[in-house]
Structure 1
Amino acid sequence: MRESVLFQAEGYFDGIPYRFVDDVAIEAMVQGKIVRFNDFDGFLRCRPTPTRPRRTIALLVAHVIFCCISLYIVEQRYSYLGLLGNPDTRALLAAVINSLPLIGLMGIFLFGRFSFGYCLSFYFFTVLLGYCWIVPSSIYGYDGRLATLSIVVSAVVFSVPAVFWRPDRPKFPEISPAHFELWLKAILIVSAAVLLAGASYNFKLAKLSEIYRYRDQIEFPKLLGYAIGITTGAFLPFAFTCFAFLKRWGYVALTVVLMFAAFPVTLAKLNLLAPVWLAFLLLLSRRAGARDAIILSLLLPIMIGLLGFVFQRSGLASSDLIFGTINFRMIAVPSMAIDLYNDFFSRHLLTYFCQISLIKPFFSQCPYAEPLALVMAKSYDFGALNASLFATEGIASVGPVGAPLVALACGCIVALANGASAKLPSRFVLVSSGVVLPAFLNVPMTTMLLSNGAAILFLLWLLTPRSLPPWAGADLP
């Protein structure tokens, strides 16, 4: 151990500067002294837990405050739908009190190391905070106290393994760095072929206001539907991120074209916004670092939506499209879905996972012949109501009492993704998962893994070579 006045860092991890020495060792500046480690794993084990920067604390507090403001306006603005209560002053105070236990989870995001599980846990934290907020003013008659307790416990048992458990990366052959770019080009060719096949079944340039009317009519063959989900959720975001890190801007542009081409095939709004969203995450993580970027990735859109609402109310804008898209559809609706699922399954039979297509053949009889999204749509007249794992694999399958066990299992599955992405740069993990992260808020875990490409994305992380030049000096999770 020796002191040094000047230390030229090649990267920063949790605020600790480090550099590689002779390609086999690592030196880190720890408490004003240079400490040498024989490998990066030794650095991770021996480093002291750093004090969380004030900026991260301030961002988390601001995020909670603006989320609550946004939710209050949503309840006022969209009460006409008949799905939300219109809270008075007493209900507003109850909403604050009901949200406090979940707000305590902020400590996980202060002291947890960055990982895919960290990102997903924070996104779920935002949705579950919204649910706890709307419960006191809910118009439905189910046991709100039991449901809130179930959600808080579920959030804890999901986040702890997802954030803090990092299984060892399995011994798996990596793609050779020399051939990696060829693999990326092959991904683009396969993606183009899949989208071309999808276009033969549906290709419609529809207005955003009309996509829901046409989207319900789209029918792809089952295998093609899986391929399209994998292409848009895993292949194209992964290729975009890799080419951006490799600075192959021509291929980045080609990937963006393919992303936009997926919209008229699927009529999914997320596919239309994906290139802009991934570019936003790429720039944001470069400026703020991966940990703060994941907070800002939701905080900034929420603030923009609130600003759009102010403009609309003051007559400076004729439409509340921004607030409706971000604050209502993206943030509030996943919280509302948990409220509706709690109400429906407090009065109807549980599924015990028979809604999952792979498991359904093992049931002699399932209470629901149609997908849950359609069952809920017919019951609440709110369109096809997909929902996250907390509502589907949790509440719908085993009820609020058993839901925490399901959340724990899902958190452990997400932890496996942490192992698959070990020693990849934090920014790379964040940007390449940029499409699946918001999708998890509205889609069951099993569907995300099998149909929407999450499992394939984890496999791509596992195959990615760790010795690529762009990784040198990067912020590793």
Structure 2
Amino acid sequence: MGKQLFFAVVVAICVSLFCVGRVFGYLDAIPRLTVAGVPLALCGVAAFASIGYLTLRGRPFSFAYATAFYFFCIVTGYLWMLPGSQIPYNHAVAFVSAFASGTFFMLATLSISARLPAIGLPTGTATILPLGSLLIAAATVIVGTRYSFRLVSLSEIYSFRNELDFPGPLRYANGIVLSSLLPFAGAFFIETRRYALAGAALVLMASFYPITLTKFSMFAPFWFLFLLALAYVVRPRTAIVLSILLPILVGLASLPIDMAQQKSIYHIFGLINFRMFAIPSISLDVYNGFFATHHPTWFCQINVVRTIFGCDYDPQLGVEIAKAYPLGNFNASFLSTEGIASVGPLLAPATAVLCGVVIAIGSSTASHLPPRFVLLSSSIVVQQLINVPLSTALLSHGAALLFLLWYLMPASALAPVALPPPAIKKRPATLSEA
């Protein structure tokens, strides 16, 4: 990753979030950075970006690298917006906490590069894993359609989503299949050049939208294809950087067009720059504000802890946040949940280290696999990690299962399937040859 490309991402994030504040700043929970606050924001971002560049520079691609870079972007965005925060809490403590959490997470994630001893499944046996994943996905879709199936636009999903009532096992299956099993199967079939089966995985991935009615399920197959296209033209490490930079630039390019047409809804900019990239950073601001006046959860949002010790909060902290701020169900990454919400800003850097160790161990299960396969098979899980708690990503969205599948998959099974040579037709003998 070149220095110019790295800092281009940093600049793009800052410009994008400045525009987000201008466009959506009428919402009380959205930071509105003023010109007077820019110098302070620049100092914080410059310091953190320098540490991020030195930490990420020269690292080979891995799942840990992808996760570390995405969380670097989240913290960069928060440090940039913090001087414009409209929520009262101790901003100085929050700055130090976010800076330390981001730094310690990157160091913990990228410093552990141990290679686990491989189990060594036979190549023939290992191919059952993606085929089984595809069959499980098909069964999950079929069962899901019995509970819900509506072909509606994104603007209409909220009219029907409250009616969804999946059984617990099916609800878990939906998240695990969409986030882990199908990307794993799709990546495997692409690597082995079984494109028909890869297409089937994408079709099944798209089938979850009319069942679950979530924006995430709508765009999951497109995100997979976007990373696939990048992986064919650049190395996976550069693909991760461009997966942030290119969408942000597209959203920024759409903003003046919508403004010139005096549109009240900024579809592309709102979806990409606000919902996809700004919200993970804004969540740090919102959670800091909420838990400045509420006691920490001490991890009671996790079902096991809740069962033993009880809990005063809804198991989905996003529901609690929605009661205080008009932003909907505001789920967030481990920086906000296992960090700020669970232990407070002072101890949040310690939980960031522990989360970094978990990610590093998960990444080591794929150390023997091709980088492009790891990039594609983790494409959706990484997006979940920046939007939901780590415990939720590991269990409800199948990240832990994906780590196990990586560990069981031998690199030899990812060799492209050899096609039989074309049959050579013999030319009929001429009279002279006869």
Same fold? TM cut 0.5: yes
Tell me the equivalent position of 1:180.
126
Indicate which of 162, 175, 189 corresponds to 1:229.
Answer: 175
Indicate which of 77, 93, 98 corresponds to 1:151.
Answer: 98
Tell me the equivalent position of 1:65.
11
Indicate which of 129, 149, 164 corresponds to 2:111.
Answer: 164
Deviation at 1:464, TM superposition (A): 0.8
- The TM-score with structure 2 as length reference comes to 0.92
* Residues 373-430 of structure 1 deviation map (CA, whole Å, 9 limit, x = unaligned): 1111111121100000000010000000110111000000001112100111111111
Tell me the equivalent position of 1:25.
none
- The TM-score with structure 1 as length reference comes to 0.84
Indicate which of 347, 350, 353 corresponds to 1:408.
Answer: 353
Tell me the equivalent position of 1:206.
152
C-alpha contact (below 8 Å) 1:119/1:294 kept by paired residues: yes
**Counterpart mapping for 1:115-154 below 5 A:** 115-154=62-101
Tell me the equivalent position of 1:38.
none
* Residues 315-350 of structure 1 deviation map (CA, whole Å, 9 limit, x = unaligned): 398852111111000000111111010001010111
Which structure shows the bigger proportion of residues in helix conformation?
2
Tell me the equivalent position of 1:51.
none
Q: Secondary structure at the match of 2:333?
A: coil
C-alpha contact (below 8 Å) 1:113/1:164 kept by paired residues: no
Bigger drift between 307-316 and 293-302 goes to: 307-316
Q: Distance in 2 between matches of 1:170 and 1:421?
A: 11
Tell me the equivalent position of 1:352.
298
1:277 aligns with 2:223: yes
Tell me the equivalent position of 1:264.
210
Query: CA, structure 1 residues 127+469, in 2 after alignment: closer, same or farther (shift >3 Å)?
Result: closer
Query: CA, structure 1 residues 452+391, in 2 after alignment: closer, same or farther (shift >3 Å)?
Result: same
Q: Distance in 2 between matches of 1:234 and 1:263?
A: 16
C-alpha contact (below 8 Å) 1:301/1:326 kept by paired residues: yes
Query: CA, structure 1 residues 434+469, in 2 after alignment: closer, same or farther (shift >3 Å)?
Result: closer
1:448 aligns with 2:389: no
1:295 aligns with 2:279: no
Query: CA, structure 1 residues 82+89, in 2 after alignment: closer, same or farther (shift >3 Å)?
Result: same
Query: CA, structure 1 residues 119+199, in 2 after alignment: closer, same or farther (shift >3 Å)?
Result: same
Q: Secondary structure at the match of 1:438?
A: helix
1:329 aligns with 2:278: no
**Percent of pairs identical after alignment?**
38
Deviation at 1:369, TM superposition (A): 4.2
Deviation at 1:272, TM superposition (A): 1.6
Q: Distance in 2 between matches of 1:287 and 1:134?
A: 34
For structure 1, list consecutive stretches of 5 or more residues without a partner in the other structure: 1-54, 473-477
AA aligned opposite 1:289: R
C-alpha contact (below 8 Å) 1:115/1:163 kept by paired residues: no
Q: Distance in 1 between matches of 2:39 and 2:33?
A: 9
C-alpha contact (below 8 Å) 1:388/1:444 kept by paired residues: yes
For structure 2, list consecutive stretches of 5 or more residues without a partner in the other structure: 418-434
1:84 aligns with 2:30: yes
* Residues 143-170 of structure 1 deviation map (CA, whole Å, 9 limit, x = unaligned): 1111111111111111112122112213
The RMSD of aligned alpha carbons is 1.8
Tell me the equivalent position of 1:306.
252
Q: Secondary structure at the match of 1:401?
A: coil
Q: Secondary structure at the match of 2:127?
A: helix
Query: CA, structure 1 residues 58+137, in 2 after alignment: closer, same or farther (shift >3 Å)?
Result: same
1:434 aligns with 2:385: no
C-alpha contact (below 8 Å) 2:104/2:353 kept by paired residues: yes
1:381 aligns with 2:326: yes
* Residues 300-320 of structure 1 deviation map (CA, whole Å, 9 limit, x = unaligned): 000111111122223398852
Tell me the equivalent position of 1:101.
47
Q: Secondary structure at the match of 2:363?
A: helix
AA aligned opposite 2:213: L
* Residues 210-261 of structure 1 deviation map (CA, whole Å, 9 limit, x = unaligned): 2234324322221221111110011100111111111111111111110111
Tell me the equivalent position of 2:60.
113
Query: CA, structure 1 residues 358+369, in 2 after alignment: closer, same or farther (shift >3 Å)?
Result: same
**Counterpart mapping for 1:11-30 below 5 A:** none
**Counterpart mapping for 1:364-375 below 5 A:** 365-369=310-314, 371-375=316-320
C-alpha contact (below 8 Å) 1:374/1:385 kept by paired residues: yes
Which structure shows the bigger proportion of residues in strand conformation?
1
Count matched residues.
416
Q: Distance in 2 between matches of 1:369 and 1:301?
A: 34
Q: Distance in 2 between matches of 1:439 and 1:93?
A: 33
Bigger drift between 67-76 and 93-102 goes to: 93-102
